[in-house]
Every structure is written in structure tokens, then in C-alpha cells.
Amino acid sequence: MTVELAFDDRGSGPPLVVLHGLFGAKRNWATIAKALAPRHRVLTVDLRNHGASPWDAVHDYPALAGDVARFIHTHVGGPAAVLGHSMGGKAAMVLALEEPDLVERLIVVDIAPAPSRTTLIDALQAMKNVPLATCTRRTEAETALAESIPDPAVRAFLVQNVTTGPNGLAWAVNLEALERNFPAIVGFPDVAAGRTFTGPTLFVVGERSDYVRPEHHAVIRRLFPAATIEVVAGAGHWVHAEAPDAFLAVLSGFL
């Protein structure tokens, strides 16, 4: 079953659909969307189990890609450029491989079509351990994460998912579903023999990240034969946030 995704719609011109990563949301891409809006219609979405989009027990890449396919049919009505970061990048790749007529061109940000090495399961478990019921402010939740997550930038990113509801503070991400489906999230589904996406494809890689490694290049070339790989100097996994000007230069040239 697909779900109807929450989204923001900015600008006019050729459509670009943007898919965030794990624990992210459409708001994380607002700066990039604003910069692109003079020349593109930028639709940033909240993927299922994130942000303002519905929760569902299933969280794997066929389901995520199905949601985005429904979104493009409903809100674009034809093919769009699709950009995805990390988890969103895997969803975008699956969409391009399964429904290539919906993807005019593909941008994958710092992720490979392969299982990922990540410590984000530790972040998920730390989030579950935060006593939100006794917190009254987001800063208290951030303090509660400090022992498990020493990096203040990562903590600040995670607590953006704290929302205020009728019963106080709550997580805007479905931690139970994400934990249950974590093997699927860090994995990548099997691709049918001979299936490829032949449209224009760009992989943007952070120089300091190890999510896309040299051993991944062969599978990238096999599944996406028109792919080019651009490395952004000095950037880590969150390329768009760590080096926005360089990221925009690469992205704008490709678009």
C-alpha cells in the first residue's frame, strides 16, 4: 500500500523531486530548494515514517519507491528529475530501475546501490531511550542524547525530529518501524538480471565519506550505465549541508 506524501512546492520550471535521508525531512532541503527555485519547480517530500507523512509498518525500498511513483503521478503528471540523499538516494535508484518512465534524470547523493556500513542504528536506539514524556523542551531531549551521541551536530540533526503534540513532546519519526526494518534500510534490494536505468545519472560523493567506495563503482556502472561520479572536496556524508555552494554548482550543471 502506498501512502500520500507531505511535500513543499517551490519555484517553476522543470520539476525536481527531492528525497531526504534517514531521520531527515523535507525541511532539511529548504535552502537548496530555494536556491534552485528560480529555474526549477522543486518538490521536497517527507518520506513515509518521517516528518508530516503517514506512518506505516513497512519501510523498505520498494515501498518507498512506490510512494514516490504515486507522488509523481499525482503532483507532477509526467517524468521528473529525482534527487535522493542516503536512504532517499536508494529509494530514488529503485524508482529509476523499476519505473524509468517517471525519472527524467537521477541524482544520487552519497550512497551506493549496495549494503551500507552505518552506525545510525545506535542513534535510533539512543532516540528510543530519550524520556520524551518528561521533557518540556527540545533542548532537554538533546541533553538526554549527549551521553550516547557525543557529536553535537548529529544531536542537533536528530532532535529536529522532536515535535509538540497534544500529549507533549513526541518523535516525528516512526522509530519502531525504522528499527524493525533496519536491515532493509541499510541493505539494497536485488535487481533483476539485465535491468538498468539508462537515463542521465549523477552520483555526488562527499570526499570525507565512505558510503560510496571504489569497489562500488562497478555496480554503479552496471545498473546506471550513463552515470557520472562527482566528488565534492571537504564534504562528508551530508554533502548538501556541509558544502552547499560546491554541491549546488555540481547539481546545477547537471540539471
Residues serving a catalytic function are 86, 176, 237
With vertex at residue 235, the alpha carbon angle to CA 222 and CA 34, rounded to the nearest 5 degrees, is: 90
Cα–Cα distance list, 79 to 116, 127, 156, 187 (Å): 29, 37, 35, 27
Burial class (CB in 10 A: 0-12, 13-18, 19+), 113: buried
Q: How many CB atoms lie within 10 A of CB 241?
A: 18
Cα–Cα distance list, 55 to 69, 148, 174, 189 (Å): 18, 26, 6, 21
Q: In whole angstroms, what is the distance from residue 31 CA to residue 15 CA?
A: 17
